Amino acid sequence: MGAETAVFTAPLLGFAFLWGTLWGSFLNVVIHRMPQDLSVVHPGSRCGACGAAIRWYDNIPIVSYLVLRGRCRACRAGYSPRYMLVEAACGVISLYIFRSVVDIGNPDAFLWGLGWWGAWQFFAYCLVAIAFIDLEHTIVPYELTIPPALLGLVVAFVFPGGLGMEAVYGLAGGAAFLLFIVGLGWLLFRREAMGMGDVHILAVTGLWLGWKALPFVILASSVQALLAVLVARLYGKLTGKADPLTLSTEALDERFDETDKYEGLPSHSVIPYGPFLALAALEGMLFGTEAFWWLVDRIFLGFLASG
C-alpha cells in the first residue's frame, strides 16, 4: 500500500462504520414500523411512548443512546437496548464488508468494490431486520426477502466474480429443502412445521452464498436455535418468568387468527426459526464456510480411514 493510499485508509474505514450505523438507525424504524404496516419514511422518528419528534441531535447513532442513557429527552421513557445494538452491529458489518471487498489501492477495482460493498450491505441489513422482526412478531415480511432476491440475481450474473448458475442452484436448493420440511410437517402434524418466510430466507441465502453454503447455514441455525431454547428455558426456571422465546401452537394460532383452522390438533412448542437462519446466513457471509467444510472433510476422511 502506497503512502498516498494509506492516508485515505483510516478516513474511509471510519466512513464505512459511520455509514453502517446510519443504516442501522433506519433499520430500527423498519423493525418497529413494518410489522404494523406503517410507512418507514413518514413521519420522522418519534418517541413510541409520548409521540414527541426526535430531534436530529438526539438521533445520532449510538452516541445519542449513550448520552440520553437510553431514554426519551421529552418524557424520559426508556428505549430498548436493541436500538443501539442494531446501530453498532450494522456499523461493524459495513466496516467488515468494506475491508473485505474494497481495494483502496487499486483504482480499476475500486468502483466495483464499492458496488459489492453496497450489494452485500443490502443483503446483510435485510437479514438483520428479518431476525428482529421474526423474533418479536413471528413473521418474515416478503418486502425483506423479494428485493434481495432480485438484487442477488443481478449480482450473480452482472458483477465480476458473481456466482452465476451456482446462485440459481443455491436458490433452488434452499427453497427445495425447506419446502420438503414444510410438506413433512403437514404429513406428520397436519400443520406447518415452519413458515414460508423461512423458505424465503434459506432460498435467498443460497442465491447469495451459493449452494455449498446451505449445509453450514442449516446446521448452524439448528444448533444455535437449540442452544437458544435451552438458555430461554433455563432463564424461565431461574426467574420464574415465562419463557421469552417459545410459544405454544395455540398462542401462535391465536396471534394469526387461525384457531378454527387447527382446532383439535395436539399442542406443541414452537420458536421463530427465521432469526437463526438469518444469523447463520450472516455468519456464512462474513466468515465464510471453508472451516466448516474442512471439518466435515476431516471427520468424513477420518471415518473412512477408521473403517
Could you tell me if residue 110 is inside a domain?
Answer: no
- Report the 10 Å Cβ neighbour count for 197: 22
**pLDDT in the model for residue 262:** 76
Q: Are 124 and 283 in contact (CB under 8 A)?
A: no
pLDDT of residue 303: 58
Same domain, yes or no, for 163 and 293? yes
Grid cell listed for 159: 458483477
Question: Does residue 193 contact residue 182 with C-beta atoms inside 8 Å?
Answer: yes
Who has greater pLDDT, 125 or 294? 125
159 and 295 in a common domain: yes
Is residue 305, in this structure, part of any structural domain at all?
Answer: yes
Residues 180 and 265 in one domain: yes
Q: Grid coordinates in use for 181? A: 420440511
Domain range for 67: 8-101
What whole-number percentage of the chain has pLDDT above 70? 95
Tell me what pLDDT residue 304 has: 56
Q: Are residues 146 and 223 part of one domain?
A: yes
pTM: 0.91
Please indicate, yes or no, whether residues 184 and 303 belong to a single structural domain of this protein.
yes
Q: Residues 241, 152: one domain? A: yes
Rounded-to-10 torsion of CA 78, 80, 85, 90: -100
Q: How many domains does the chain divide into?
A: 2
Rounded distance, CA 228 to CA 223, Å?
A: 9
Is 80 exceeded by the pLDDT of residue 2? Answer: no
Q: What is the mean pLDDT of residues 184-193?
A: 82
Same domain, yes or no, for 282 and 155? yes
Confidence (pLDDT) at 49: 81
Residue 85 and residue 131 in one domain: no
- Asked whether residue 87 falls in the same domain as residue 213, the answer is no
pLDDT in tens, 145-171: 999 999 999 999 999 999 999 999 999
Q: Are residues 201 and 58 in the same domain?
A: no
Identify whether residues 136 and 201 lie together within a single domain: yes
pLDDT computed for residue 193 by the predictor: 76
pLDDT in tens, 242-283: 788 888 888 888 888 888 777 777 777 888 999 999 999 999
pLDDT tens readout for residues 49-101:
888 888 888 889 999 999 988 898 889 888 899 999 999 999 999 999 999 99
Residue 111: inside a domain, yes or no? no
Is there a domain that residue 116 lies in? no
Q: Please report whether residue 3 resides in a domain.
A: no
Share of the chain above pLDDT 90, in %: 59
Task: Report if residue 213 sits inside a domain.
Answer: yes
What value does the mean pLDDT take over residues 3-32? 87
> 105 or 24: which carries more pLDDT confidence?
24
Q: Answer for the pair 104, 9: CB distance below 8 angstroms, yes or no.
A: yes
- Does residue 274 contact residue 198 with C-beta atoms inside 8 Å? yes
**Does pLDDT of 214 surpass 90?**
yes
